[in-house]
Amino acid sequence: MAAPLSALADVLVPNAPDTNGIRAIGKGIKEIGAESLLVLNYSNENNTSSIRTTNITGLSFRYFILNNLNLALNASYFYKGVDAAARQGGMVTLGGNYLINIGRGLFLNPGLAGGGFYGKVSVKGAPSGTPAPTMVGGVARAGFGLAFYASPKFSLFARPEAVLYVGKVGQGPTESSLLNVDGGFNVGMNYVF
């Protein structure tokens, strides 16, 4: 039995206009977007705890592999500032998001991702020529929020998100373990095609 024509019009599919509001995102839809996560960060390194602010800004590409389920690739720049040192670098994650419709164009948007990060630590007052210690390790992201498809070509999202970094700082005798948990509000916008 075929679905009613009005139900088919509610699924956003590639190269089709939205005629009656968006209730599902169809397989084959792609999104390119920018996002920024402003966070309050708790860090525990070598039994020393600290709280600092962090900014994670990046670009994402999402491809819907099934209706309402996308595979997401994200490349982001991060900056973590404290009084004595600043940490900056990049991270790449691959994950998935599932959209749950709660109204025309409005979806709950839970997601998980995993990947890696690489960065450097710049220390204020370090002697000239001193190499900056490197940071390297794995990263995991989890979030749950809202996505709004304002039109067939544009969407917005906002959600609380946690980012977990596990790795090491430095090399050789100065190497130390790293565990960071960032929690904040991720906002972004996407071009849909």
Domain-embedded: residue 15: no
For residue 132, give the CATH number of its domain: 2.40.160.20
The structure's pTM equals 0.83
Domain-embedded: residue 176: yes
> In this predicted model, what pLDDT tens digit does every residue of 94-114 receive, in sequence order?
999 999 999 989 999 999 999
Number of domains in the chain: 1
Cα separation, 151 vs 121, whole angstroms: 42
Paired strand residues for 154: 151, 191
Share of the chain above pLDDT 70, in %: 91
CB atoms within 10 A of CB 15: 7
Domain-embedded: residue 12: no
Token representation of residue 6: 């009005």
Q: What is the pLDDT of residue 1?
A: 45
Q: Which domain holds residue 137?
A: 30-192
Judge residue 140's burial from the number of C-beta atoms within 10 Å of its C-beta, 0-12 exposed, 13-18 middle, 19 or more buried.
Answer: middle
Domain-embedded: residue 1: no
Domain-embedded: residue 14: no
Token representation of residue 133: 């210690």
Domain-embedded: residue 107: yes
Walk along the chain (193 residues) and give the pLDDT tens digit of each residue. 444 444 445 788 876 666 567 999 999 999 999 999 987 767 777 777 777 778 999 999 999 999 999 999 999 999 988 766 788 999 999 999 999 999 989 999 999 999 999 999 987 777 777 788 899 999 999 999 999 999 999 999 999 999 999 999 988 888 999 998 888 999 999 999 9
Token representation of residue 44: 């525990």
Domain-embedded: residue 3: no
Place of tokens 């939205």: 18
Domain-embedded: residue 162: yes
Chain centre distance of CA 120 = 20
Please say whether the beta carbons of 148 and 98 come within 8 A. Answer: no
One-character DSSP codes across 8-19: HHTEE-TT---S
